[in-house]
Amino acid sequence: MSKVALVPCGSYDDAVNAVKTALDLIGGVDTILGKEEKLLLKPNFLAKCPPEKACTTHPEVFRGVAKYLQEKGYNNLSYGDSPGHGDTRAIAKECGVGAVADELKIPLADFTAGKSTPYPDGISANEFVISNGVLECDGIVNICKMKSHMLERITGAQKNIFGCVFGLNKGASHVKYPNATEFAKMLADLNLMLRPRLHIMDGVVAMEGNGPQSGTPRNVGVILASTDSIALDTLFASLVYLDPKLVPTNVIGGERGVGESDINKIEVITPSKTLTVAEAQAQYGIKDFDVYRGMEDKGEISYLKPFKNLIKRKPKIKKELCVACGICVKSCPVPGGALHFKKNGKPPVYDYKKCIECYCCQEMCPKKAIYAYQNPIVKTISKIKF
């Protein structure tokens, strides 16, 4: 059985204590981490956003993890992440984690460069360009954020490890692995290669809707912790009433042995008692959390294939919100770009024949101007039971 700690936490004022409780509930860290090891604290630094936007790992959750480790005698710590756009140090400062790290005298790891690193055991990917700060550490402590995600439905523990890939190589990965399933296969290889030791999820204030940057903050009020990233993400999906079997990272990660995806083999440990996933969902779940639950066409429903272009989601730009900053154009990983500015100005225009629906543009847009458009017919089709 895989174990996931769930600790109620209604405010970030209580996050340090909640993190401590969660880590104690899974048995502490002495059997997971060596005190002599170089440990990398890996938060989510997606973009330059203040903490209240719920886009990045909250500084108080980071503080809770760092203080817990330091009090246990783990003093060889560093921190960092390779963001989708911008400078790691600037993002750390804006989201508040940088100030906490400075206070606790934890240095920023080197995420300014990376090295091509082979992974011969990979099934989908056998090589990654990994940031230097990751290669220089002995173990990763993954401090992820609970958010919705346009490509994978949710982004949690397993997806957060993608930030270990250096810089623009993340965009290239979206081209090489252009859909949710193929991308999840690559993530499974990456997680098996790096094997992060510990996962703590900031679910005090999550992001719903147009995540992972342009969504809406939503109080969920939990801290989750586990040594099993798939079990943790499976519980996350269940708490927002999203069938974990609709999340490619959960399904493929479970199949590949990254972690446990069977809800019947996951124990949820709370401060008062141990629950099943179903019991935890009933007690702590949020039924109206805004996350994509629509039908996913993986090719099995053959008679819907002629309507694929009609029913599939695609990125669109709200003209009234676009400021023509060009970040979406620069973020597009497709060779030659799948969206460009026209001579008559904003907003950029998509070439949907080239677009691979990776949502890098939406993920990086600082003005929430890009969203996943769905034809109204999708809402009807998604309710049909085949």
Which residue, chain included where needed, has tokens 């998509």? 350
- pLDDT > 70 fraction of the chain, expressed in percent and rounded: 92
Whether 220 and 262 map to the same domain: the answer is: yes
Residue 107 DSSP label: P
The domain boundary residue, chosen from 284, 318, 348: 284
| 3-class secondary-structure state, position 123 | coil
Whether 320 and 255 map to the same domain: the answer is: no
Contact 277, 266 (CB under 8 A): yes
Whether 204 and 175 map to the same domain: the answer is: yes
Residue 335 DSSP label: T
Range scoring the smallest mean pLDDT among 191-200, 302-311, 316-325:
302-311
Whether 267 and 355 map to the same domain: the answer is: no
303: which residues sit within 8 A by CB, 6+ positions away? Answer: none
101: which residues sit within 8 A by CB, 6+ positions away? Answer: 62, 66, 79, 92, 107, 108
Contact 28, 126 (CB under 8 A): no
Average pLDDT over residues 347-355: 90
Whether 189 and 333 map to the same domain: the answer is: no
Q: What is the Cα Rg of the chain in Å?
A: 20
Inside any domain, residue 255: yes
Whether 42 and 177 map to the same domain: the answer is: yes
Q: Tell me the CATH number at 324.
A: 3.30.70.20
Whether 128 and 243 map to the same domain: the answer is: yes
Whether 89 and 115 map to the same domain: the answer is: yes
The domain boundary residue, chosen from 284, 317, 347: 284
Inside any domain, residue 132: yes
Q: Which tens digit of pLDDT belongs to each residue from 231-262?
A: 999 999 999 999 999 999 999 999 999 999 99
- Picking from 216, 220, 67, 226, the residue whose alpha carbon sits closest to that of residue 144 is 226
Residue 349 has pLDDT above 80, yes or no: yes
Inside any domain, residue 386: no
Whether 111 and 230 map to the same domain: the answer is: yes
Say which residue, 336 or 144, is predicted with more confidence.
Answer: 144
The domain boundary residue, chosen from 240, 258, 284: 284
Inside any domain, residue 184: yes
Q: Tell me the CATH number at 27.
A: 3.40.50.11440
Whether 209 and 327 map to the same domain: the answer is: no
Which domain covers residue 342, as residue numbers?
Answer: 302-381
Contact 138, 37 (CB under 8 A): yes
Whether 235 and 314 map to the same domain: the answer is: no
Q: Cβ of 335: how many Cβ atoms within 10 Å? A: 9
Whether 264 and 339 map to the same domain: the answer is: no
Q: What is the model's pLDDT at position 297? A: 41
Number of domains in the chain: 2
Q: Cβ of 351: how many Cβ atoms within 10 Å? A: 13
Inside any domain, residue 297: no
Inside any domain, residue 296: no
The token pair that represents 354 in the structure block: 């080239």
Residue 305 has pLDDT above 80, yes or no: no
Residue 310 has pLDDT above 60, yes or no: no
Inside any domain, residue 57: yes
Specify the pTM: 0.86
Inside any domain, residue 295: no
Q: Give CA–CA dist 319/326, Å, rounded.
A: 13
Residue 166 has pLDDT above 90, yes or no: yes
